[in-house]
Every structure is written in C-alpha cells, then in structure tokens.
Amino acid sequence: MMISLPTRFEAYGAVKIFELSRVLELDSLGMSSKPSGTHTLDYETMEEYAASTAIVVPVKDEELITLEGVLRAIPHASPIVLVSASQVSPVDVYSREVELARTLHSVTGREILVIHQRDPAWAEVLAGTPLEDMLSGGAVRSGKGEGMILGVLAAAGIGARYVGFIDSDNYVPGAANEYSKIYYAGFSLSESPYTMVRIVWHYKGKLASSDMYLRKRGRVSMHTNSVINYALSRIRRVETDIVRTANSGEHAMSIDLALRMRWAGGFAVEPYQIVQLLEDCFLGLEGGSCRLLPEGVNILQIEARNPHIHAERGDEHIAGMLAESLGTVYHSRLGSDEEVRERILGLLKDYSYEGEPPKPRVYSLEGIDPDKTLSTLLAESQMAHYFK
C-alpha cells in the first residue's frame, strides 16, 4: 500500500484534522525505495499493524455470499469481530453466520469472534456498568452505534490495540481488503496514541443500479460535512472545508481513543465522533473536558481506490438519516451558533423534515473493563463463539 502524504492539516485545539490523502498503489509489493511525498508500507510493518488491529464487521441479515466475500478479504493477521444483529427466527440467519465463521476458521485457521447484539447474556454482562443504558427490555438496543460499541469492547477484550470497522454489505471484497490496509497505513503514519482513520469512498456513477444508493449516502455526507465545516468556519472566522468524512462508516481508531470517546447510538455514531472530539478537545479544551491530552487526536482522511458498491436496502430513509446525522451538531456546542442551527433546520426542511432533529443517545465507555466484559460474555452466552 502506498498513499500520498497529506500535505497539510488544520488544528482545532487538541484535534488535528488532516487533509484528504489518496491511495497511490494498492500494493507496494517489491517496493524498495520510498518516493518523497508518499507513505509506503512494507510488509513487515503492515503485518505488525494487521496483527494488532481487530476488524469489526457489523452484520444484519445480509446475504451470506456478500458477507463471506468481506470476511475472506480481510488480511489474515487481523482478528475479525463479527457483530450480528441478524434474525434468529423464523429463519435462523445468525446460525448460518456462525457456521460461515466456523468454516472459515477451520479451513484457513484465522481468528474470528462472533457475537450477537441481542444476546440475552449482555443483560448480565452490562448490568451495573456505565453501559447499562444500552439495555432495553433485557437486551442491547438495536442500532448501528450500539453494535459498534459491542465491537469495540470485544476488540479491546481480545487484546487488539486498534479497531477498524468494515460494513458487511459490500459487494467488492477488494474494497474490504483495501480499507484494512488503509487503516494500517494511517496508524503507522500517526504519531499520537489517539488516532482515527476515516475513509472517503472513490466511486463513479457508471453502475446505474448502485449509483442511486451511493448518491443518497453521498447527500447525507455532503450536508453533514458542510454543516460541520460551516460551524468551524464561523468559530474561526476563516472558511474551511477540511472535514470530508463526517458519515464515514468505514473508519478505524486506536483502542486508547475508542475507550476514551463517548459513542452515539444508531446512525448518529459516525458524525458524533467528530462532533464530540471537537466539542471536548477544541471548544471544551479550557474547561478540562478533553481526555486526550497532552498528545491530542489525529484524524486522518484517506480516499480508497475501489468503488463502494452495496445493496439497496428498503429500510433507510434519507430524511431520517440526515436528521440523526445533523442532530449531533444541532445539540452540540458547535450548534450553539444560531446561524448553524438555522442552516440545519433549513436543510432538513428541504427534505420535508419538520422541527428539530433528534438528540443523539450517548454512551460513555469510561470505567468499563473490556477484558472482564468479554470473558463474562463468553462464559455466560449460548450465542457467542470464539474461533481461534
């Protein structure tokens, strides 16, 4: 993997946001020199980062063949944490996912942990911890953010130093492979223990059927990026368009960072990461709310070379997703500026969404012991499987 070095960054308090960098070569196999202006990973370095990065794959009733492609694409050295929210009845989709993981493990020897978001054992595991809020009716709430939090705990529990997320509804296994390597490249580039790598998709509008979906996600992302950039511009009084990855589902971070962050539930999870880092470690810096000092956090934004092509799902509504996404800004200190709130309400109105966007449900991981969490889960659960 060879990426271009970001040529500049902007610093907001203890938050450094790097300009977009790009993948120059998917595979630097056999590369001896390191051309200037590039960051090139040799295989030893890549292997080292791969082995310490757990890849969390959230899955919910995805076609097995698509999930299989993603799992087979993640470099062997990275342990996989499959976090399922799939149905168990009338058809037991979850048991097929477990079977797939078992098969992959037995043929290739790779390490895979499979957990279920609605596993009743979570009630016991999380009761009395700061994450008790995640429970509702004896199980972890449904929601993308909630599943990702479980993934972070599991990744930390198996001893990973980094955690990366890769969606399971990706038709291009090569993209999942590339995302993993981008994570390794980003981690090896950053000098802070608090590092986040966020991926920008590289896609073209040629494939008519998928184009529609890509465009929709693009719109939520475009608006959220522009609102966050507008808020930053208003505060600084210098216009910026540095944020390109507000809704980036494909992202990764050091475990040290993941455990110190607050996490939002549902679809607010990705933009809330950026919003709360800015809130705590830029606007709240003087008030002592930043837990990432003295090093501060590096947010790297890297454009992948593969297109991101995924299934069109009927259950996603752009207005609702946009509201959840912009709600993270609206209800934050970035949204204390009246102009910013007006802009958010105006944008939502264009999508026929009336009123204030929802406030994100927020969870703190402070005080959680991931080792104990995972070992209790594995001891209590009938659904979790650790193939290693």
Least separation in angstroms between residue 23's CB and its own copies is 7
Contacts of 349 by beta carbon, 8 Å cutoff, 6+ apart: none
Tokens 């703190």, located at residue: 364
> Residue 356 burial (CB < 10 Å; 0-12/13-18/19+)?
middle
Tell me the window of 201-209, 326-334, 335-343, 356-364 that interacts with its own copies (CB under 8 A). 201-209
Q: Does 23 bind its own copies (CB under 8 A)?
A: yes
176 vs 329, which CB is nearer to its own copies? Answer: 176
How many CB atoms are located within 10 Å of the residue 331 CB? 20
**Binding its own copies by CB under 8 A: which of 6, 120, 174, 320?**
174
Q: How far apart are CA 213 and CA 236, in angstroms?
A: 35
Q: How far apart are CA 182 and CA 176, in angstroms?
A: 10
Q: Does 24 bind its own copies (CB under 8 A)?
A: yes
Q: Does 210 bind its own copies (CB under 8 A)?
A: yes
Tell me the window of 260-268, 275-283, 306-314, 374-382 that interacts with its own copies (CB under 8 A). 306-314
**What is residue 148's three-state secondary structure?**
helix
Per CB under 8 A, contacts with its own copies among 102-141 are 107-110
β-bridge mates for residue 4, sequence order: 38
172 vs 222, which CB is nearer to its own copies? Answer: 172
146 vs 178, which CB is nearer to its own copies? Answer: 178
Per CB under 8 A, contacts with its own copies among 315-374 are none
Q: Identify the DSSP state of 118.
A: T
Per CB under 8 A, contacts with its own copies among 54-83 are 65-66, 69, 72-78
24 vs 222, which CB is nearer to its own copies? Answer: 24
275-311 b/e (C-beta count within 10 Å ≥ 16 → b): bbbbbbbbbbbeeeebbbeeebbbbbbbbbbbbbbbe
Applying CB under 8 A, the residues found at the interface with its own copies are 2, 23-31, 33, 35, 37-38, 43, 46-47, 50-51, 65-66, 69, 72-78, 107-110, 171-175, 177-178, 180, 204, 206-210, 305-307, 309, 311
